[in-house]
Amino acid sequence: MKMAMKKVALAMACAGGMAATMQVEAANWTMLQGTEPTSAAGRMKMWGFIETNYKIDDSDKNKYVGTPGNNYEYVPPKLLQPDLESQKGFSAFRARIGARGQGMPLDGKVNYFILAEYANNGITHGGGSSVKMTDASITLNQIKGARIRMGAFKVPTFEEGYQAIHVFDYIEFTQVANQLMLERYPNKVYTENRNNEVGFAYTDGNSESRFNRFDQPVGAFRDVGLQVFDMFKQKDWEHTYAFMIGNGNGVNFNDNDENLDRYFYWSSEKVFAGKGPFRQGLKMFAWHQAGKRTLQNPAVPFPAGAGADPEPAGETEYDRTRSGLGVKYNRKGIRFTAEYLKGEGMIFLGPDNPTFTITAPGAIAAPGEARPLLADGREGESDGWYIEGGYQIPKTKWEVDARYDVYNRLTDAKKLAGPCAFEFTFKTITLGAQYHINRKTRLTMNVMDRDFNSGECPSPAAGGNPNNNLHTVGKRYGIQLRHIF
């Protein structure tokens, strides 16, 4: 997405969150989130922010009935996160409190960062906890050109996820961020897709729907590991690199297997004016991450699709890679961001399907039998992109924003046999306005026009066609109040 950081009060920028104000910046997130300015940082600075919003999802329920006993009136895109139980309502969506600083006067070259989430969202909801620690890291700045950060923190990644969330200019992530990059981790035990259970139905009130069946928090673009990084200046250019190795298990602070993820990041920015979070610039960046995930396959292996090999039952390791490149421009109240992202392996296919696959609908297969495999995210491929921009209206507190994002899920789905190729396209236009009440308080209003479809699916397919639901995903409206303290 973009990362137009609003004018960050210098104290808040140093303290830990880079508070938003009316001035746009091309912030160096690697340095701002991992280090403290030796001349301004204190021993400890408490900081945090609250986001509360109201949303309305205008999607049709769509009373198409597929397999007997399955009433597909609701699907996740028509319901509000994280509970997926209603189409309108208020939410205290984020509430984070943290501290950061350095060991002055003992040692100004050592700094720390700690942060916890207290609200109801994918970080706390998936783990069944009311509070979840997201960041806890120490940075050593003794080695010139190779600073070392260790602990739990944001990985060097795509711009939308790398930036501080409380300076985010929109209420919701792009679909490519939400589905491709906001990782859901496999359940430890294989779990059937609820849609394939006899007698299971989504009710009008959706009170019996069992979405969100992943039993761990979302990754929140974080990991636990060790990062080597630094920034180098060359005239009016600033070059930054980061290399990290991590558990590959998100905000789950334990390692779930013996594999390590690798993260690479590079950015080069021409600085036009200003310093630190206040500067204006043109930034180009590229990143890559790779690792493995351990997944429990069903006791009965899925049948192979055309040109595919059967998958063994039990635990299997799958490669997961993500990469991208982009550009960001900020100058004189004008912001523009564009980025392309690509991924392979462990493609998220829905909150009611923790196995990363879609099988043919119907009753659960009898022992020794297996249903046809219609979509396979375990080794699937996807890509997407977004462009966004903003304009600060001179001599006012108003800013207007616009964003267009596209996510192409399972672009290699035609390799599988079945009644539908299950390649999905998600397109969203977001129009927004922001009113900066003061340096630390901002009101954001968004309208999202969503066009989701599966163009390769015949209509209707046996057991229900995804288009019957995707075509009735409608607009979503939101208003959000954010305060930084």
406 token code pair: 């596209």
Cβ within 8 Å of residue 359, ≥6 positions away: 193, 196, 302, 371, 372, 373, 374
Confidence at residue 216, expressed as pLDDT on a 0 to 100 scale: 86
Inside any domain, residue 243: yes
Which single residue is written with the structure tokens 């523009």? 336
Tell me the sheet residues that pair with 316.
Answer: 295
Name the 3-class secondary structure at 188.
coil
Helix (H) or strand (E) holding 160: helix 159-162
Comparison of pLDDT for 61 and 278, the residue scoring more: 61
Cβ within 8 Å of residue 10, ≥6 positions away: 40, 276, 277, 278
Confidence at residue 142, expressed as pLDDT on a 0 to 100 scale: 93
Which single residue is written with the structure tokens 């800013």? 399
In contact, 59 and 453? CB cutoff 8 Å = no
pLDDT tens for 114-157 read 999 999 899 997 666 689 999 999 999 999 999 999 999 999 99
CA angle 309/311/317 to nearest 5° reads: 115
Q: Is the pLDDT of residue 202 over 70?
A: no
- Of the candidates 45, 126, 122, 131, the residue with the CA atom closest to the CA atom of residue 96: 131
Confidence at residue 210, expressed as pLDDT on a 0 to 100 scale: 54
Q: Are strands 222-234 and 147-154 parallel, antiparallel or unpaired?
A: antiparallel
Inside any domain, residue 474: yes
Could you give the CA distance from residue 5 to residue 18 in angstroms, rounded to a whole number?
8
Could you give the CA distance from residue 85 to residue 436 in angstroms, rounded to a whole number?
32
Instruction: Tell me the CA distances in angstroms from 348 to 57, 354, 380, 383, 468, one per residue in order.
Output: 22, 8, 10, 12, 20
What's the chain's length in residues? 485
In contact, 355 and 373? CB cutoff 8 Å = no
Name the 3-class secondary structure at 21.
coil
Could you give the CA distance from residue 300 to residue 280 in angstroms, rounded to a whole number?
57
Q: What percent of the chain has pLDDT over 70?
A: 73
Average pLDDT over the chain, rounded to whole?
Answer: 81
Q: Characterise 206 by phi-psi region: left (phi > 0), alpha (psi -120 to 50), beta (else).
A: left
Inside any domain, residue 1: no
CATH number at residue 26: 2.40.160.10
Helix (H) or strand (E) holding 98: strand 88-103
Inside any domain, residue 3: no
Instruction: Please say whether the dihedral angle defined by the alpha carbons of residues 432, 172, 288 and 240, taken in this order, is positive or negative.
Output: positive
- Residue 129: other Cβ atoms inside 10 A: 12
pLDDT tens for 319-365 read 999 999 999 999 988 999 999 999 999 999 887 667 787 766 554 45
Confidence at residue 10, expressed as pLDDT on a 0 to 100 scale: 28
Averaged pLDDT, 203-219: 63
Name the 3-class secondary structure at 154.
strand
pLDDT tens for 362-404 read 544 555 555 566 778 888 999 999 999 999 999 999 999 999 9
393 token code pair: 């209206």
Averaged pLDDT, 310-326: 85
Q: Is the pLDDT of residue 19 over 50?
A: no
Q: Is the pLDDT of residue 419 over 60?
A: no
* Domain count along the chain: 1
Inside any domain, residue 252: yes
Could you give the CA distance from residue 460 to residue 419 in angstroms, rounded to a whole number?
10
pLDDT tens for 144-195 read 999 999 999 999 999 999 998 888 999 999 999 999 999 998 887 776 554 4
With cut-offs at 50, 70 and 90, classify the pLDDT of residue 13. Answer: very low
Inside any domain, residue 446: yes
Q: Which domain holds residue 175?
A: 10-484
Comparing 28-32, 430-434, 452-456, 469-473, the range with the smallest average pLDDT is 452-456
DSSP output for 418-437: SS----EEEEEEEEEEEEEE
Inside any domain, residue 2: no
Inside any domain, residue 4: no
Residue type, 414: K
Could you give the CA distance from residue 350 to residue 365 in angstroms, rounded to a whole number?
21
In contact, 57 and 79? CB cutoff 8 Å = yes
pLDDT tens for 220-267 read 999 999 999 999 999 999 999 999 999 999 998 888 888 999 999 999
